Structure 1
């Protein structure tokens, strides 16, 4: 008789790693060293649901500087350059694939919007692009330009939390 579902093999292996290796293993899922340290320090986790809950708790407990460190690892929407690992950049490219389909003029508008956002907020526009069209991203970018710094910091942190969960799911599936 089983005591519930078998633990994911990747999670089981990760639970057994030394802390430094465990941090390095999950860092591409978020980009914040503080987040990776916090998540690794909380091991072992019983299942994937526990990892997701711990990830959110760690993320929400970090400082804005820690959030900014994670934000800085993302390329601009439609670009492929950022201070991130090859795995994180590959995931980002996959997440943005659908969003980058569409009209060329929309890509120009997005590039212009990115520049305006960076001029106002001093960082890259961050959005969980998975499943969103370029037009939808443009609309959200425009709407977020009217946000205060505090509102936008919180929205970017929420978007990062969503991205992190998607990446944790991919990591735990071995992608």
Structure 2
């Protein structure tokens, strides 16, 4: 693992978070002793991103309910992360589509949530709740959700032996 952690490059990291500024900041902290060290560098870099850098990362995420169709690592991870939130129930899917539309209209970007392990009902409840947030509160929530997703993906990256 130590060899992997010392050879991570920007391209590897961009699969975890599509912010170029974040990836550059994390690469600059190499080498990492372990996953915890890598996650700490990530957390530090995420905390100081300007909002446009956060949006750069958010814009790489597909809408919930519309899984990524690419063959790259990031698309595969995204499909896996959305799996639990998928539903064969037409009404729930329609609610998710409508909620996504309202959220994007309200905040100007896709609804981002760490959906890993969450059923669609929990995702919808969070979406509906967050529609009531003011911009500042929602930006803080988005940063938190992005950090959760990035941490999960860093673990997958390290486990995959890059």
Give 1:142's aligned residue. Answer: 128
Give 1:174's aligned residue. Answer: 160
Structure 2 residue runs without a partner (length 5+): none
Larger deviation, residues 134-143 vs 73-82: 73-82
Alpha-carbon deviations, 1:19-65, whole Å to 9, x = none?
xxx11111110111111100001101111110011110111011111
Which of 1 and 2 has higher RCO (CA within 8 Å, sep 6+)?
Answer: 2
Give 1:57's aligned residue. Answer: 44
* Structure 1 length-normalised TM: 0.87
Stretches of 4+ aligned residues off by more than 2 angstroms: none
Contact 1:28 1:85 in 2 (8 A): no
Give 1:126's aligned residue. Answer: 112
- Give runs of aligned pairs for residues 1-175 of structure 1, distance below 5 A: 8=1, 11-16=2-7, 22-81=9-68, 86-174=72-160
User: In the aligned structure 1, how far is the partner of 2:7 from the partner of 2:114?
Assistant: 31
Contact 2:6 2:32 in 1 (8 A): yes
Cα deviation, residue 81, structure 1? 4.3
- The structure with the largest alpha-carbon Rg is 1
- Match of 2:15, SS state, is helix
User: In the aligned structure 2, how far is the partner of 1:43 from the partner of 1:26?
Assistant: 12
- Match of 1:29, SS state, is coil
RMSD: 1.7
* Structure 2 length-normalised TM: 0.94
Contact 1:30 1:164 in 2 (8 A): yes
- Match of 2:66, SS state, is coil
